[in-house]
DNA sequence: CAACTATTCAATAAAACAATTGAATATGCA
DNA sequence: TGCATATTCAATTGTTTTATTGAATAGTTG
């Protein structure tokens, strides 16, 4: 094997992996799976991707070995295959936000319009004054959550308000900066008379050790 | 803007960046630029990419804002735009090597065939017994090199053997694991009667702080 | 200003990718 | 066994990406 053949082989192989990251739908799927394993149906339901197309994208991720699958009954459950997938995906997000300021602008604009742009950092959280609330689906909370967080999925929030202490500010978090469940939760809570803000971080941020 | 519109905008924008990583030629260009700025001509010469095609790929990288350009005379010099580019690219390489064992196998096979698979780590380097040799082009050495390294580009090595101390083992390094200049140097040095091995690391490894 | 060098641009053709549709398969349950 | 559910497969179409070629442009040098 010549030096050129070596390089071609190696860069082709790496591009085989990076190509799996080159589609916006697959990136959204990676963000979903970062929060917990999901069936094809769940992936399709939580994104704007059709069922068959979601299956195709998951297969692309699978042949790049970024995800693994497990059969459970007649369902197929997909999981991230390796913590390095998360690490690489986060590095890409950080790079993208650094070189493309439009991303941050879009996010801020969305939140300013809803007055959910205020957020509080985990390090500033004082348990006596704040309640940390995980508004993701229960399965994602079970898969991994921030210490001390209470789980009430945003869909159930209105019916379960009694579980919240009246005196504290509610600090809601969800799947991360591109997820709007915490925004929805904050808006609902404020409409019901609570003080509520978003959390600056998300559980995925802390799960990225290689 | 709806939640779905927000997500579409954000993931589309990120995919705009990740797409720039999805071509093997561009990955090789990123590895080249990680070692120092280069003109289009240099990029084309050091890869198997035609001149016009190299220019096109550099423009793709530029519109993704991964590289910057500077005009110097009638040359156009390209540089990595941001240290996060390096960080993301390294995360991708690490991921690819983790999920695709064929990459490591190919590299080991190439080096075993040449008996250059032996390498020594920077931390094990003792100055009294080893000489650290940077065999990359001089411009790349100037751009950044490991402390204490001597610069002799592999092309000039045969003519400059007198600069090497006879008693020490020569530890050669180049652009990284996918670069074969250090292998070539080790082979040449051994043929000339020196003890020589590759260094396990490369300068790029240490330059990846965000 | 003419010749030269370095680069970009534009047009093309082949290949790869993406989303849709409907059929096929596999598993579970009545 | 038959029906329902969950998923994959296969075929199709439109779009995007890629490498090649040759022309056009910009800066340099004599």
Question: What is the per-residue pLDDT for A208?
Answer: 59
What is the CATH class of B115-206? Answer: alpha beta
The rounded distance, in Å, linking the Cα atoms of A205 and A209 is 9
Nucleotide at minimal C1' distance from the B72 CA: D27
For residue A207, pLDDT over 80 is answered with no
| Angle between helix A24-34 and helix A51-63 axes, rounded to 10 deg | 80
Is B179 known to be catalytic? no
Residue A11 three-state SS: helix
Who contacts A21 (Cβ-Cβ below 8 Å, separation ≥6)?
A27, A30, A88, A89, A92, B15, B18, B21, B22, B92
As a rounded value in angstroms, the CA-to-C1' distance for B31 and D19 is 21
**Minimal CA separation from B59 to chain A, in Å:** 15
Whole-number Å distance, CA B36 to C1' D26? 25
pLDDT, tens only, A169-185: 999 999 999 999 999 99
Inter-chain contact A106–B10, Cβ cutoff 8 Å? yes
Tell me the C-alpha distance between B115 and B195, whole Å.
Answer: 13
Residue A205 is predicted with a pLDDT of 82
A166 confidence band (pLDDT: 50, 70, 90): confident
Q: How confident is the model at residue A210 (pLDDT cuts 50, 70, 90)?
A: very low
Give A72-84 pLDDT, tens digit per residue. Answer: 999 999 999 999 9
Shortest CA to C1' contact from B56: nucleotide: C8
B3-84: which CATH architecture? Orthogonal Bundle (1.10)
The neighbour count for residue A127, using CB atoms within 10 Å, is 9
For A109-203, CATH number out of 2.40.30.160, 3.40.50.460, 3.40.50.150, 3.40.250.10 equals 3.40.250.10
Q: Is residue A209 over pLDDT 80?
A: no
Could you tell me the pLDDT band of residue B210, with boundaries at 50, 70 and 90? very low
* C-alpha to C-alpha distance for B178 and B201, rounded to whole angstroms: 11
**SS3 state at A178:** coil
B93 Cβ partners below 8 Å, 6+ apart? A14
Token representation of residue A186:
């904050």
Calpha distance B90→B108 (Å, rounded): 19
Q: Which residue among the candidates B174, B186, B196, B204 is catalytic per the annotation?
A: B174
Q: Which residue has the tokens 């695709």?
A: B100
Mutation for B interface: A48, A61, A95, most B CBs within 10 A: A95
Q: Indicate which residue of A40, A132, A170, A174 is catalytic.
A: A174
ipTM associated with this complex: 0.95
List, for residues B37-91, the tens digit of each pLDDT value. 999 999 999 999 999 999 999 999 999 999 999 999 999 999 999 999 999 999 9
Cα B173 to its chain centre, rounded Å, is: 10
Confidence of residue B208 (pLDDT cuts 50, 70, 90): low
* Phi/psi at A58 (5° precision): -65, -35
Tell me the Ramachandran region of residue B122: left when phi exceeds 0, alpha when psi lies from -120 to 50, beta otherwise.
Answer: alpha
pLDDT at position A87 over 90: yes
Check residue A204 and give its pLDDT: 87
What percentage of chain A reaches a pLDDT higher than 90?
A: 95
Q: Read off the pLDDT of residues B136-194 as tens digits, 9 standing for 90 and up.
A: 999 999 999 999 999 999 999 999 999 999 899 999 999 999 999 999 999 999 999 99
DSSP letter at B59 equals: H
Yes or no: say if B129 and B169 are a contact pair by the CB < 8 Å rule: yes
Mutate to test the interface with B, among A92, A101, A174 (most CBs of B within 10 A): A92
Measured CA to CA in angstroms, residue B57 lies from A194, B28, B42 at distances of 53, 11, 14
Query: Domain segments of chain B: what residues?
Result: 3-84, 115-206
Tell me how far apart the alpha carbons of residues B208 and B210 are, in angstroms, rounded to a whole number. 6
Which chain B residues touch A23 with a CB distance below 8 Å? 15
Query: Which helix or strand (DSSP H or E) is residue B75 part of?
Result: strand B75-80
**Which nucleotides of strand D come closer than 7 angstroms to any CB of the protein?**
4-10, 17-23, 26-29
Cβ contacts of A73 within 8 Å, gap of 6 or more = none
Greater model confidence, B161 or B209? B161
Task: Closest CB to A92: pick one of B18, B28, B81.
Answer: B18
Instruction: Specify whether the CB–CB gap between A185 and A195 falls below 8 A.
Output: no
Q: Which of B6, B103, B113 sits opposite A180 (nearest CB)?
A: B6
Rounded to whole angstroms, how far apart are CA atoms B188 and B166? Answer: 15
Nearest CA to A20 among A104, A71, A70, A81?
A: A81
> Is B148 in contact with B134 (CB distance < 8 Å)?
no
pLDDT digits (tens, 9 = 90+) for A107-164: 999 999 999 999 999 999 998 999 999 999 999 999 999 999 999 999 999 999 999 9
Pairwise CA distance, residues B7 & A208, whole Å: 22
């Amino acid at each position: 094997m010549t030096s050129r053949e070596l390089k071609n082989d190696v860069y082709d192989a790496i591009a085989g992996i990076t190509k799996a990251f080159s589609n916006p739908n697959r990136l959204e799927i990676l963000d979903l799976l970062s929060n917990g394993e999901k069936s094809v149906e769940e992936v399709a339901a939580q994104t704007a991707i059709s069922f068959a197309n979601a299956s195709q994208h998951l297969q692309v991720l699978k042949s790049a070995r970024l995800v693994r699958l497990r059969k459970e009954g007649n369902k197929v459950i997909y999981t991230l295959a390796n913590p390095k997938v998360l690490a690489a995906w986060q590095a890409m997000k950080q790079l993208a936000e650094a070189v493309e300021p439009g991303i941050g602008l879009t996010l801020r604009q969305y939140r300013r319009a809803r007055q959910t742009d205020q957020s509080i950092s985990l390090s500033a959280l004082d348990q006596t004054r704040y309640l940390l609330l995980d508004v993701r689906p229960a399965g994602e909370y079970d898969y991994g959550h921030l210490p001390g967080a209470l789980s009430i999925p945003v869909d159930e929030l209105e019916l379960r308000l009694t579980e919240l202490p009246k005196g504290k500010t509610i600090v809601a978090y969800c799947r991360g900066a591109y997820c709007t469940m915490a925004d929805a939760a904050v808006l609902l809570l404020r409409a019901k008379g609570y003080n509520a803000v978003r959390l600056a971080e998300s559980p995925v941020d802390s799960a990225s050790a290689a």
